[in-house]
Structure 1
C-alpha cells in the first residue's frame, strides 16, 4: 500500500521455527503457502514496531489488509515480547 513516502513495494517472508524468527526477502521458500499475508504501508509497519499502534487497530482502521488465517497473526503476535533493555548482548 502506498504511504506517501515513495517506498517501493517489497515482499518479505517470516519463517518461525523452533523459537527462531528468520526474515527473508521475497516469497516463502520452496513455494510454501503462508498461513497469513499482510499488505500495509511501511509507515504503518514502523508505527506497529514502534508500539504507537497495534496490528489489530490498524486492521480495524483498514490500513492493514490480511489474507489467510487471521488466527495465525494473533498467535504470532502472542510470541512477541518486550525486550529486556538490560540484556547483555556482548559481555566482556
Structure 2
C-alpha cells in the first residue's frame, strides 16, 4: 500500500469517528455510569471546536471534546436537556 493510500485511509477513519461521536450541547447535563462506580452528572457550560467546559463539584473544568465524547460513548447513561437545548 502506498503512503498516499495509507494517509487517505487514516483521514477517512478519523472523519468517520468524528461523525459518529455523540453531539455535546451546552446547557445539557450528561450522565455517566461507569461499571462498578457511582453515577455522576456533568453540566456542560461551553463547547468549542476542540474543548468542552463542564461543571464538577470542585468547579468548572475543561477537557478535550474527543475525550468527553469517547467517555460518554463508553459510560453514558443519558442526557438531561437544559434550557439552551430547548430554545
Which TM bucket (shorter chain)?
under 0.3
**Structure number with larger C-alpha Rg:** 2
TM-score, normalised to structure 2, is 0.25
TM-score, normalised to structure 1, is 0.24
Q: Greater relative contact order (Cα 8 A, min sep 6): structure 1 or 2?
A: 2
Higher helix share: 2
